[in-house]
Amino acid sequence: MSTISNPQTKRESVATKPHHKGLWLSLKKPLWFALSTLAFVLIYFGLQDYMEYAPRVTLAITLAVIVLWVLEPIPFSMTAVLVLFLLPISGAVSTDLILSGFASPAIFLIVAGMMIASAVEQTSLGKRLAYQLLYWLGDKKGGVLAGIILIPQVMAFFIPAAAVRTAMLLPIVFSIASILGIKQGDVMGKKLMMGVVVSCGISGVAILPAAIGNVITVDLIHTYLHQHVTYVDWLILAFPMWLILIPVSWWVLHRCFPVKNEIPGGLKVKMKAMIGELGPVTREEKRLLAILVAVCLMWALEGIHGWPPVIPALIGAVLMAWPGIKIADWDKILDVKFAPLIMLGVTLSLGRALYETGVTNYLSRWMENDLTLYLFSNPALAVLTVAVLTQLIHKVTSNVSTAVIATVPVVVALSAHSPNAPALLLAFVAGLTCLFGFILVVETIPGVMVHGTGWVTQQDYFKPGFWLTLATTAVTYLMAVTWWSWLGYL
């Protein structure tokens, strides 16, 4: 018996799909706002008998905005602005306190980093470096991927922003794909794009100014523990881990995206031609390189001259546009993005508000039980616990800054009730682990930027992200029982 299809039914079926999709889109944002409001109500009224007003309303507003940051019905920076007036209006904290984060040197360090990155982009130095690395490595098995992974690691020393490093690397990767005839959807294309995500993610591990999460972590350590972490302190703690993660990342991506006949013929010749097109190294590039080296040296010598990282960064930015040196145009250098600065300032202020109102004290008392005391009683086990806990929190607080502000205060609070817990190291581990967001697209800015190219899907993140999460956790524990223990931090 034959079945005759009804064209009208088909048209109605097709028409209902966009209708349902449009209905969901129209309901989604109100639903996210409702969930945020529900989080506020549950905390504010549910803890009425357990907390005083100021810490209770501070915690309620914090969880409400975290829900908005995770679900993103409005831009991150707009949610951050809500904090600026909700906390003072509620009477939980003063206006001076909620604006104090914007007076932090961390804000001006990021401003100076953006200015330096803008100056670098106005020259060919970044491209020259990338092409040269690919010229050296391109004819070896896995060499192209190795070059893509190494480029941001070098950039991290003089471009203190993962988003800027990603933005500079993507055009280079597209150029390589064009040379090699790689098309969207090819396995090799997915491998190279995931190389951008992973390499830009780990490039901020050892260099303090190279990731906003690092800067926030150091500020929180100073606020809660009253200890100052210098550029060299961070470098010494994280450098061996950084060196291990570079080849580990290459190996994981190489295995997760197997490609036959990967060695591209003629890439070395083509890279040489592209280097030739850039011409000889210009005077501006030499001056720029000299200034960048000088800035890095001043960062490394912080223990001698006592200047925080922001001072050398600002000196470098001014020199790059100084008359007689003139590497870049000053007006273009000043064209920095305001949204990340708002986000950073608010997260710093929020961390101080949680501390000043006593929220962290309440959290530490609530979480103090036999299990947490046992886990934190063994320093190495405490490091592993914090690494796993941070990864779990990071999965529901997608933005790195949000993950840091949601994790570090809790870790410090738990450490306060465990006499054997190395509070400084645990706070450092929590902040560092927030950089390792590889499973979900939204966990890091490089992940979002690369996904936006259309060359990779969320599904492409799962397998390498899972193995890299395991690898970073294992390496963190390895550092705890070896390097950090030898340095006396454990």
pLDDT score, position 265: 59
DSSP collapsed to 3 states, the chain: CCCCCCHHHHHHHHHHHHHHHHHHHHHHHHHHHHHHHHHHHHHHHHCCCCCCHHHHHHHHHHHHHHHHHHHCCCCHHHHHHHHHHHHHHHCCCCHHHHCHHHHCHHHHHHHHHHHHHHHHHCCCHHHHHHHHHHHHHCCCCCHHHHHHHHHHHHHCCCCCCHHHHHHHHHHHHHHHHHHHCCCCCCHHHHHHHHHHHHHHHHCCCCCHHHCHHHHHHHHHHHHHHCCCCCHHHHHHHHHHHHHHHHHHHHHHHHHHCCCCCCCCCCHHHHHHHHHHHHCCCCHHHHHHHHHHHHHHHHHHCHHHHCCCCHHHHHHHHHHCCCCCCCCCCHHHHCCCCCHHHHHHHHHHHHHHHHHHCCHHHHHHHHCCCHHHHHHHHCHHHHHHHHHHHHHHHHHHCCCHHHHHHHHHHHHHHHHHCCCCCCHHHHHHHHHHHCCCCCCCHHHCHHHHHHHCCCCCCHHHHHHHHHHHHHHHHHHHHHHHHCHHHHHCCC
Domain ranges of the chain: 105-333
pTM over 0.85: no
* Residue-wise pLDDT tens digits, 57-72: 999 998 898 888 777 7
Q: Which residue has the higher pLDDT, 27 or 235?
A: 235
Percent of the chain with pLDDT over 90: 32
* Residue-wise pLDDT tens digits, 104-142: 777 787 788 778 878 877 888 877 877 887 788 776 778
Categorize the per-residue pLDDT at 25 as very low, low, confident or very high, splitting at 50, 70 and 90.
low
